[in-house]
Amino acid sequence: MYVVVAGGGKVGANVARSLLRLGHEVTLIEQRRDRFDRLEDEFEHQVQRGDATELFVLEHAGLARPPDIVLALTGDDEDNMVICQLAKEKYGAPKVIARVNDPRNQAHFDLLGISPTVCATSSIMALVEHEVPEHDLIHLLELRKENLEIVEVQIDRDSPSAGKRVEGLDLPEGARLISVMREGKAEIAVGSTMLEPGDQVLAILEPGKEDELRRVLLRH
């Protein structure tokens, strides 16, 4: 397999090294002189110096072949987006993977159809939400393409939603309750479903509506 790796920082260099160990053909692109000099000692002709958003740099790295996959792993999200667009649309690379540095830019990658993406911050945050037990809103599933996520919430005795019907809740736009689990039995949430303390509720919502949902269901 032929892989082009854009960005020779910690992530890019480690990925390139791992791919080489697996026997793949790799070209690593790094713009910074100081980094390039260090990488050259290890990667020799398999690292090239240049701005991976410049067409002649990409062509020199063999983008026109095209590679089986292009990895945009620089520390700059705009650069990663442009690298992926060029790789896919100009050179016809069949697959790209992009690194997202700032999770707030995830929406831009999605908007431009760049997928899959990897964001260390989001991965860590998702794990924190799963692992920390007192956290009141658990992320179960992220439907990235649909820009929706499914979360689980436990209703307590003092939750403002306890003792109310679903239709009586002032749910934020972009959030719906899916089901209510009570004493081991799940039920689809409809307008007349009454919420009770101890209920485990599944909700589907647009990312960013968590706080509003939390306020309606859990906080006074």
Name the residues that contact another protein, by CB under 8 A. Answer: 53-56, 76-79, 81-82, 86, 89-90, 104-105, 107-108, 111-112
Cβ closest to another protein, residue 55 vs residue 188: 55
Cβ closest to another protein, residue 79 vs residue 210: 79
Report how far residue 79's alpha carbon sits from residue 68's, in angstroms, rounded to the nearest whole number.
20
Cβ closest to another protein, residue 84 vs residue 166: 84
The CB-of-120 to another protein minimum distance in angstroms stands at 19
The CB-of-186 to another protein minimum distance in angstroms stands at 36
Rg (CA), the chain: 23
Cβ closest to another protein, residue 56 vs residue 183: 56
The CB-of-211 to another protein minimum distance in angstroms stands at 14
Nearest by Cα to 45 from 22, 20, 65: 20
Cβ closest to another protein, residue 55 vs residue 190: 55
Q: What is the 3-state secondary structure (H, E, C) of 68-114?
A: CEEEECCCCHHHHHHHHHHHHHHCCCCCEEEECCCHHHHHHHHHCCC
